Every structure is written in C-alpha cells, then in structure tokens.
Chains A and B, each alone.
Chain A
C-alpha cells in the first residue's frame, strides 16, 4: 500500500466537509459481490472548496424542478400501469419509512398496484417486526424471500470475520432480490426509495432515475464471485452449499433482465427526498412507529430500525473509518436543513461510536462467537491512522469536535 494511504487505501489525513459532518474516510459504493479482503476503497469525493459530493448534490437539488420530475414519474407509471388488476410495480423494502412512503405514494397518488417484496433482516428487531406488519396493514401483499438460515448465518459470520462487514449478506440480497423477483413475477418496473447518492456515492449515479445495472446484474461466472470474503466456488465445493441457495446473493443474469424489460428506478429522483419528511409521511399515513428510544450510536429514532446486525454494522464503520451512525445521521440532517453543523458536531461528540450494547449478545449468538471473539476480530480492522490508545482506551486521533 502506498505511503500516502492508510488501511483500505483511505487518505491518511482526515478532512471534514465544510458544510456537513462527513469526512473523507467514507467509502462510496462498492460492488459487493466482488469484495475481497484488503480491498482498496473508493472514498467520498471532495471539491476544492472543501465541500463533499453529497452536499454538492444537496445544493443542486435546490434547483431541481420537482413539478417536472413529478410529471416524469407520472409518465413512467403510465407506461407500466396495468388495468387488468395485476401487480404493476415491485416495491422492495422491509417496512421502514422509505418503503412505507414509496408503496403508499405509488398506490394512492400514482394509481399503481404495488407488490411489496422483502429481503428480510437476519435478526428482526421488535420495532422492525411491528413496522413490517403495519406496512402490510396499510393494504399490501408481500413476497418475502426467507434465506437459507444456515447459509445466511455462515455468510454473516464469514463476512464479519474476513471483512469486518457483517452487513454484507444483507446488502447483497437486498439489491438483487427486487430485480430477481421482477423477472420471476414478470413485473418490469421496480421502484426503490431514496438513492445512495443522497449519502455521497458517485454523484453521477444521481443524474438519472435508474440504478446502474452494474450493481445488480452481471454476466459473471461463479469463479468471479466472492461472498463473505469466500469465493463462491469454495462455498459450493468445500462448504457444500447449493447454487440454488447461493443464487439469492448473486447478481441477476442480464439477459433475463432484458427479456423482462426490468427497469430499476429510484423514487428519490422523482420525489424530493427528505428523510425526516419521509418519517412524517409514514406516521401520517400508516401505523409506522419510530424506535422505542434513542437508537444506539446516534441521536435519532426513525432510521434503520429493523435489523439487529445494523447496530454492529455502524460499530464496524466506526472502527474502520472512524464514522459512526451519528455522523451519518447528522450529515444527512444538515444537508436537509433539519440541524446545523454545530448541532451535528455536538451530537457526534455525545453519541457517535457508542458500543452496540443492546443487541451485541443476540448478534454474537447468531454468529456463534462469544463477546471476546467479537472484540478480537474487530481489532483486525481498526485503521491505525485513525485511532490512538490513550490510557488503555481507543480514541479517535482527529474527531470532528476537536478539529474544525
């Protein structure tokens, strides 16, 4: 690795965005099904003015003509709407605020007939379960693909131990399931909520309404695929998992996509996405509930509530990139005008990187490891250029509240 870069190829010098609380250690989109150990990450881009790409996009959003985008969505729906009573749009999700809003808007404002599909979390939280039910209570049917639990556990554990990324199996399936079911059910239109560019992925990804097929379809052969840091071939040959079960994690065959005419669109392109307003929409139009208390590692109660592994996920991002849930949440809220940068910094100082006490036992039990093994494993992934041990405790060398 070059001397200019730290672990994962991250820039050695931590730089904070002048407008939000995000920093240059944040990785942008990864093609998950090829992710190997020790891979170099592409990170959030910053302009010469010290402003990050996500803030730049937020600025651009202010001059978008949303009336026009609404018309574009109408046209899209007109193109795919079926009047014979069959489903005409696949809405993926799990009952979080984004999928609640997406389903509701498509049905009640754009007169579509959505079928909800779910790649379920490894470990549902109570609030996640309740919100899933509320989602369906609003008047929707749902296909849930329940993964082979033995395989899913194995992949989660491997992803954690090999990549420090226990969330990977979830992400893999979530992106692929919708296009897969689109083909299976012969419903070409797929509409996801929001758009990752909102959080700082490649800004070009936001210029169009559709998801780049490279993220969910690929003409790849088994020998190129890696899951949980283990080549797919080994999963079949050495670990005796079946291709049929593994397929759920693979990208969809592009020929099938073309045959069905599958198009994966982002609602975030057509509707001004403001996560807090999405929360309001959900509570005003369904029985959606926020968390029972503050979500660990952050200050908020309305985001990413359904998967216990998510709590670990933010702990690993803290270890690897020095970025925790409070940083992600505050950066997004700053861009949307909900809080100021100073307020975000105060919240990060108070809550970021909090140990995921609430679900750590459940998650370790799920992965069949004990707490000590968790701590030992996670240390492998700590980025030395970000952390210092002070009086026996790990501290960030350059936290945002000391920087500035």
Chain B
C-alpha cells in the first residue's frame, strides 16, 4: 500500500501558520495559495486544522474552509473547534472530505465520535492527537498543545477506534516544528495499537527522517509541514527519495 504524503496546514484564519511545539503564530501564507501550490506539487492530501478555534472558544470559519477546498482535487481533511454534528455536516458541505476532531472529544464528549461515525461513516472521521511525552507514556493534549487531559494516548486511540473513528492523525508536542525527527517510539506504539489507518505528523527535518519513520512505524501516511512550508523540499523531492528507497508512494 502506498504511503500517503500529506501536507498539514496549521491555520489561524486567514493564514496558515507554523508553530513550534504548538506555540507561535508565524505566518506562512494564505491557505488557498498553499493548497494550489501543494496540489500542483503532487501532494496526496491536505489536512487543515484551525489551531485556535478551541483555544479562543470561537466558532468555525466555514468560508475560509470553502475557499481552500476550491483549489483541491485531492482529499481535504478539516478540523479545529469541531463541537457538534452540525459542525461536521457544515464542514462536509463546505468542501471537507474528512472531519478532524480533538479537543471537544477528549475534554468534553467522546460520544460525538460514535454519533458522527454512524451518520457520516467511519472513514470520514479523523481523530487528531497531540501527544506529550512523560516518563513512560504519552498524554493527550488539547487546545493547540496547551491543556492536559490525563488521558493516555494509547488508551485513547484504542477507545476512539472502538467508537468508530476511521483514522488517526498523530502529532507530537515534543517534536512539532523542530525539524529534528519524529517520535518513532510513539509512532510505532500507536500504529500497532489499532487497525485503522494512522497518519504520523510532527518532526520531519530531512528526507532521512521521513524514510526512517515509515520503515520503523509503517504508517498509512505522513503529514508534513515545516520542510514544505519553508521550501526546504518539495513533495516530489520526498516521493522520489522514498521511491529510490523502495517505499511505495502514489505518482
């Protein structure tokens, strides 16, 4: 199965930004421009998360989502501040193909995962994880890598799978934006814990990093931000390198 090369958009509408350790709001560009850029580069998917909607406790900005969706003919996952079935529905109607959820499900109401899966189908429900490492385990964080939950990541991914989530977007608070490599141990544990696809994010700094996490953790996809947003590499650079190293990717 081809490993998907996905581009991650951390969005503080109207800009895509690039935090480090989920902190900082440095602007990268407009999501529609970047969507077009990466579509043309051959990205397999875009995952767009409004990183401040939960933190600021404000509603989702659907117009911004729609503008970005218009540039893409590849799957578009959207999240940030999702709190109700209506939010899910409105996002699908604004151009999302998958909806991503974290804070509300972790801190307030995990049942929403069950409800959403039943109405929209498991495959369209992505649970995003912001994992923070402590001594021997990882904790789920919310509100843009800021607020603790006392929930263990491995327990949580197993739980959401049972509730009907179709995909996991795994991010690491420790590695995010640092370009020093992925949390391989975490990645392996999560991929092995569930039968649903896992997309691993946070930490790509070199092509080697990406190859290593794929070889070691065998995820369904890798979500990349910094090295693409800062034009260190293009999507084709990544795909060519992986192909050369016998890792199957789409065209």
Binding site for B on A (CB under 8 A): 276-277, 279-280, 283-284, 289-290, 292-294, 299-302, 338-339, 343, 346-347, 350
Give A343 to B178 CA distance when docked, in angstroms.
Answer: 26
B154 to chain A, nearest CB (A): 20
- Main SS of chain B's interface residues? loop
B229 within 8 A of A: no
Between A and B, 18 residue pairs with Cβ closer than 8 Å are A276-B25, A277-B26, A280-B20, A283-B177, A283-B178, A284-B20, A290-B20, A290-B23, A293-B141, A293-B148, A294-B147, A299-B55, A300-B23, A301-B22, A338-B25, A343-B52, A343-B56, A346-B57
Q: Is the CB of B56 within 8 A of A347?
A: yes
Which A residues are in CB contact (< 8 Å) with B146?
293-294, 299, 301
Give A280 to B57 CA distance when docked, in angstroms.
Answer: 25
Which B residues are in CB contact (< 8 Å) with A277?
26
A248 to chain B, nearest CB (A): 34
Q: Which residues of B from 118 to 137 have beta carbons under 8 Å from A?
A: 132
Q: Chain B, 139-155, contact with A by CB distance < 8 Å: what is the 0/1 string?
A: 00101011110000000
Binding site for A on B (CB under 8 A): 20-26, 52, 55-58, 132, 141, 143, 145-148, 177-178
Closest to A292 in B: B132
Q: Is the CB of B147 within 8 A of A293?
A: yes
Interchain residue pairs A-B with the least CB separation, the first 3: A294-B146, A301-B23, A346-B56
Give A300 to B145 CA distance when docked, in angstroms.
Answer: 10
Which A residues are in CB contact (< 8 Å) with B22?
301
Closest to A282 in B: B20
With A292-B132, A293-B141, A294-B146 given, is the CB distance from A283 to B21 under 8 Å? yes
Which B residues are in CB contact (< 8 Å) with A284?
20
With A343-B52, A350-B57 given, is the CB distance from A293 to B132 under 8 Å? yes
Q: Is the CB of A294 within 8 A of B143?
A: yes
Give A343 to B145 CA distance when docked, in angstroms.
Answer: 18
Which A residues are in CB contact (< 8 Å) with B57?
346, 350
Q: Is the CB of B25 within 8 A of A290?
A: no
A278 to chain B, nearest CB (A): 10
With A294-B146, A294-B147 given, is the CB distance from A289 to B56 under 8 Å? no
Which B residues are in CB contact (< 8 Å) with A276?
24-26
Partner of A301, one of B21, B25, B56, B177: B21
Give A277 to B23 CA distance when docked, in angstroms.
Answer: 11
Which B residues are in CB contact (< 8 Å) with A292?
132
Among A290, A338, A339, the most chain B Cβ lie within 10 Å of the Cβ of: A290
Which A residues are in CB contact (< 8 Å) with B25?
276, 338-339
Which A residues are in CB contact (< 8 Å) with B147?
293-294
Closest to B146 in A: A294
Which A residues are in CB contact (< 8 Å) with B58?
346
Which A residues are in CB contact (< 8 Å) with B141?
293
A123 to chain B, nearest CB (A): 22
Closest to A347 in B: B56
Partner of A279, one of B24, B55, B143, B148: B24
A291 to chain B, nearest CB (A): 8
Give A228 to B177 CA distance when docked, in angstroms.
Answer: 43
Closest to B179 in A: A284
Give A293 to B141 CA distance when docked, in angstroms.
Answer: 8
Among B22, B24, B177, the most chain A Cβ lie within 10 Å of the Cβ of: B24
9 other A-B residue contacts (CB within 8 Å) besides A293-B148, A299-B146, A301-B23: A276-B26, A277-B26, A280-B20, A283-B21, A283-B178, A290-B23, A301-B21, A301-B22, A343-B56
Give A339 to B23 CA distance when docked, in angstroms.
Answer: 13
Give A299 to B12 CA distance when docked, in angstroms.
Answer: 15
Partner of B23, one of A279, A343, A346, A347: A279
A87 to chain B, nearest CB (A): 31
Give A10 to B141 CA distance when docked, in angstroms.
Answer: 40
B54 to chain A, nearest CB (A): 11
Which A residues are in CB contact (< 8 Å) with B143?
294
Closest to B148 in A: A293
Give A338 to B146 CA distance when docked, in angstroms.
Answer: 17
A339 to chain B, nearest CB (A): 7
Q: Is the CB of B148 within 8 A of A290?
A: no
Q: Is the CB of A290 within 8 A of B21?
A: yes
Which B residues are in CB contact (< 8 Å) with A343?
52, 56
Which A residues are in CB contact (< 8 Å) with B55?
299, 347
Among B23, B58, B148, the most chain A Cβ lie within 10 Å of the Cβ of: B23
Give A277 to B58 CA distance when docked, in angstroms.
Answer: 26
Which B residues are in CB contact (< 8 Å) with A338?
25
Closest to A343 in B: B56
